[in-house]
Amino acid sequence: MNMAKGPGKSHRKGISLLTMAKMFPDEAAATKWFEGVMWQGERCCGHCGSVRTTEASHAKMPYWCSDCRSYFSVRTGTIMERSKIPLLKWAWAIYLNCTSLKGVAAMKLHRDIEVSYPTAWFMQHRIREAFAAEGPVVFAGPVEIDETYVGGSAKSMHAAQKKKLKEEHGSISASKAMVVGAKDRKTGKVVARVIDKGDSPMLHGFIESHTDPSATVFTDGASVYKFWFNHESVNHSAGEFVRGIVHTQGVESFWSMLKRAHKGVFHRMSAKHLQRYVDEFSGRHNIRDRDTIDQMRHVVAQMVGKRLKYRDLIAETGESSVAT
């Protein structure tokens, strides 16, 4: 039975922990669910996409493709490929990520589904890969545009860390990463990107990539936004935050969620991982009005055709594990 509908979300149905346990009592139930979501009633090969398949007696690869003559499973051709983690635990990890608005720390996932911390850390990054949008995201508008800085607070830093940041960046504030985001007023959807610097060419490129040329853009009073033709702004430095329909409070609420998660859940978001976290929060925000089961199905569908290998993730970050 679904949980009672929450205030302001009368159209959205959740899933309680007890209901989740009934839906996924064992590995067989989880496997059947993943197959149903990914194949939609017509089993297809994860190697070549053929539907000319049959059941096989292979324990780990229970299906055989007649076209490419390969064994496969529901994991083949997805983020879960070559993963030894039971699908039951993948289902729970996806559920927790869909229902935790501020995200799930790898340490919590490690405890909740009984996997090692490095395994939980890697699972989380693969799930973030599924949250990332596929293809171009272009908003019709009106669109709110804003930028923010993400990084640790100097108050919680060790003296040695403060010294290192000052030596590398000149100041602690300069070590923070800049993120620019856009929120479409009509759909409520968000897209955000980590950028090197907040100059006019960089912001111009972001807006052009994600905003229809005819769309009205709302920003703060920063001069770097004045290039856009249909543009209105509010002057934050003068205490003006709302002027009629002109404001950036929608995208600012998204920043608030991201920063609360950074401070209260993850504590540290590596600069090299930051875009992955931003993709996770954007992706979860953009499906927030769906029923929980539909959110889970969406994430699973987004796993198809993607792959994130552990060695590639380590090479990308230069780290074997990070606090998340």
Sorted by where each starts, the structural domains of the chain and their CATH numbers stand as: 143-288 (3.30.420.10)
Residue 10 to residue 154: CA distance in whole angstroms: 41
Residue 146 to residue 114: CA distance in whole angstroms: 40
Higher pLDDT residue, 153 or 237? Answer: 237
Burial of 114 (0-12, 13-18, 19+ CB in 10 A): exposed
Taking residues 221-229, what's their average pLDDT? 77
Q: What is the pTM of this model?
A: 0.85
pLDDT tier, 159 (very low <50, low <70, confident <90, very high otherwise): low
Q: Indicate whether 73 pLDDT > 90.
A: yes
pLDDT at 127: 97
pLDDT at 151: 74
Peptide bond into 25 cis (omega under 30): no
Taking residues 58-77, what's their average pLDDT? 96
Q: Indicate whether 8 pLDDT > 60.
A: no
Q: 């504590």: which residue's tokens?
A: 267
Give the tens place of pLDDT for each residue, 185-211.
999 999 999 998 878 888 889 999 999
Q: Indicate whether 145 pLDDT > 50.
A: yes
Q: What is the mean pLDDT of the chain?
A: 86
**CA-based nearest residue to 151, from 248, 236, 266, 237:** 266
Taking residues 67-96, what's their average pLDDT? 97
Q: Indicate whether 111 pLDDT > 60.
A: yes
Which percentage of the chain shows pLDDT scores above 90? 62
Taking residues 262-277, what's their average pLDDT? 81
pLDDT at 247: 83
pLDDT tier, 227 (very low <50, low <70, confident <90, very high otherwise): confident
Burial of 183 (0-12, 13-18, 19+ CB in 10 A): buried
